[in-house]
Chains A and B, each alone.
Chain A
Amino acid sequence: DTAVSQTPKYLVTQMGNDKSIKCEQNLGHDTMYWYKQDSKKFLKIMFSYNNKELIINETVPNRFSPKSPDKAHLNLHINSLELGDSAVYFCASSQEHRGFYYNEQFFGPGTRLTVL
Chain B
Amino acid sequence: TQLLEQSPQFLSIQEGENLTVYCNSSSVFSSLQWYRQEPGEGPVLLVTVVTGGEVKKLKRLTFQFGDARKDSSLHITAAQPGDTGLYLCAGLTADRGSTLGRLYFGRGTQLTVWP
Contact = CB atoms under 8 A, between A and B. Distances in A.
Interface of A: 4, 31, 40-45, 48, 50, 55-56, 90, 92, 96, 100-110
> How extensive is the interface on chain B, given as a class?
20 to 34
B31 A102 contact: yes
Chain A CB within 10 Å — which of B30, B43, B48, B95 has the most?
Answer: B43
Contacts of A92: 42
Contacts of A43: 43, 88, 90, 105, 108
Given A43-B105, A110-B42, 10 more contacts: A42-B105, A56-B98, A56-B102, A100-B94, A101-B48, A101-B92, A104-B33, A106-B45, A107-B43, A110-B40
The interface residues of chain B, by DSSP majority, are classed as strand
A50 B41 contact: no
B103 A103 contact: yes
B42 A90 contact: yes
Contact of B108 (A41, A101, A104, A108): A41
Interface of B: 30-31, 33, 37, 40-45, 48, 50, 86, 88, 90, 92, 94-95, 98-105, 107-108, 110
